[in-house]
Amino acid sequence: MKTDLLIINAKELLTLAGTDSPRIGSEMNELGIIYNGAIVVKEDKIIDVGSTEDIVKKYDNPTKIIDASDKVIMPGFVDPHTHPVFKQTRENEFEMRIKGRSYVEISQSGGGICSSISGVRETSEEELYQLAEKRINKIISNGTTTLEAKSGYGLSMESEIKMLKVIKKLNKNLPIDIISTFLGAHEFPVEYKDDKEKYIDILMNEMMPKIRELKLAEYCDIFTEDHVYNIEQSRRILNRAKELGFKIRMHADEIKPIGGAELAGEIGAVSADHLGAASDKGIKAMRDNGVTAILLPGTIFSLGMKSYARARDMIEAGLAVALATDYNPGSCNCDSMQFVITLACLQMKMTPAEAITASTINAAHSLGLGNNIGSLEIGKKADMLIMDMPSYQYLPYHFGSNNVETVIKNGKVIR
């Protein structure tokens, strides 16, 4: 049979095939490996997967053939938590943290998210687009084929809409899929520091309805933490978001255990992210309500902290665990899911297979895309990577360098 693209002889082909819900517990270790594997693509989809021996008999005259001898083929990375639209980087804060200041102290003395807010407000949509496009091109070179991107550095109607329009345009023009999230509750803007209720009112009754009306975001997110939105404020904002039809993501229990994970369960959030300080009760509430735990070890690493999320306890409790970079100008300027996988293994004791599952199929499910992407199965989108490595364990082992050789999105080689 004739087809468009045939990739053959992969030493390991990681299919991650087999479940139509996120993988939990011991399923996270199952990568569905085909040794000496081959994969067949027609247009943007996978039409066959199997051993090279079987596949070459069936497809004789492909338009393009790639020999992946000694290499690994795997699904493209899905990065379900990033903040790529901003003006200036904040490496000065990185140095301040090395010298002993904490993330919260820096943020309370005018740095942090607030400094990124002035940057976004003063910058044109076009310039923000150019800056983010360059960053996302690097992210793509590191193997990410689907990305979630948040607003949250505008915190006014005008500048939040500007950020979300940038994300929409990035999705349209760049070869990967970019899913947008409204994060108007990322901080309190300086002009409302003394009247937080006023900002919450504008958020719930002006900004959120407008963003829905303009169809600029599918998800609504919030920074639930002691120094930003407390539990009671978060509950009100998220219930309003739900009422307006947003699906919910949360930044929860990153630094202090204030009950963010419990709230994620109560609200029925799609995901709760960070969770370095999540309680046992919170983990259970998330599990019982099908909330995915998105862990961001790059952030803890970059903040120079030790409080990595308890991935082992979460996996053992039967929680669906995913990984993300949290790419942003402040707490984590990391654009590589590969490095996040290394940290997940070394600092949270996830196995290489669990970390790969968390970065592909489970991350895809957290974005509602698990039936389309995240694994290499017949009928799914041909989003995949050819990795210059002899085995999947090599991925976290060989760090600080890009193991990606070829990035394929929707059946086309894009890198």
Residues in contact with Fe ion by the rule CB under 5 A: 326
Member of 113, 211, 241, 334 binding ligand NIG (CB under 6 A): 113
Question: Which residues does residue 33 pair with via DSSP β-bridges, in sequence order?
Answer: 14
C-alpha distances (whole Å) from 326 to each of 284, 300, 329 are 24, 10, 10
Per CB under 6 A, the segment of 18-26, 52-60, 325-333, 334-342 that binds ligand NIG is 325-333
Q: For the beta carbon of residue 399, count every other beta carbon within 10 angstroms.
A: 15
Q: What is the dihedral of CA 215, 367, 323, 186, to 10 degrees?
A: 30
Q: Which residue is nearest to ligand NIG (CB)?
A: 330
CA–CA distance, 147 with 158 (Å, rounded to integer): 24
C-alpha distances (whole Å) from 141 to each of 134, 310, 383, 408 are 11, 30, 14, 11
Member of 218, 221, 326, 383 binding ligand NIG (CB under 6 A): 326
User: Diameter of the chain by CA atoms?
Assistant: 71
Quickly list DSSP for 274-288. E-TT--HHHHHHHHH
Member of 15, 180, 292, 328 binding ligand NIG (CB under 6 A): 328
Least distance to ligand NIG, CB of residue 203, Å: 16
User: Which partner from the list ligand NIG, Fe ion, none does 155 bind, CB cut-off 5 to 8 Å by kind?
Assistant: none
Q: Is the CB of residue 407 less than 8 Å from the CB of residue 413?
A: yes
Q: Which is nearer to ligand NIG, 112 or 259 (CB)?
A: 112
- Identity (one letter) of the amino acid at 288? D
Quickly list DSSP for 172-206. HHSSSEEEEEEEEESS--GGGTT-HHHHHHHIIII
Least distance to Fe ion, CB of residue 48, Å: 39
Q: Which residue is nearest to Fe ion (CB)?
A: 326
User: Which partner from the list Fe ion, ligand NIG, none does 292 bind, CB cut-off 5 to 8 Å by kind?
Assistant: none
Least distance to Fe ion, CB of residue 370, Å: 22
Member of 116, 180, 271, 360 binding ligand NIG (CB under 6 A): 116
Residue 330 within binding range of ligand NIG, rule CB under 6 A: yes
Binding mask 44-83 for ligand NIG (x = CB under 6 A): ---------------------------------------x
Q: Which is nearer to ligand NIG, 328 or 359 (CB)?
A: 328
C-alpha distances (whole Å) from 17 to each of 50, 357, 361, 370, 375 are 12, 11, 9, 11, 6
Interaction residues for ligand NIG, span 239-268 (CB under 6 A): 251, 254
Least distance to ligand NIG, CB of residue 329, Å: 5
Residue 302 within binding range of ligand NIG, rule CB under 6 A: no
| Residue tagged 């991935």 (tokens) | 311
Least distance to ligand NIG, CB of residue 311, Å: 17
Q: Is the CB of residue 277 less than 8 Å from the CB of residue 373?
A: no
- In terms of residues, how long is the chain? 415
Least distance to ligand NIG, CB of residue 152, Å: 7
Per CB under 6 A, the segment of 58-66, 94-102, 123-131, 324-332 that binds ligand NIG is 324-332
Give me the residues that bind ligand NIG (CB under 6 A), please. 83, 112-113, 116, 223, 251, 254, 299, 326, 328-331
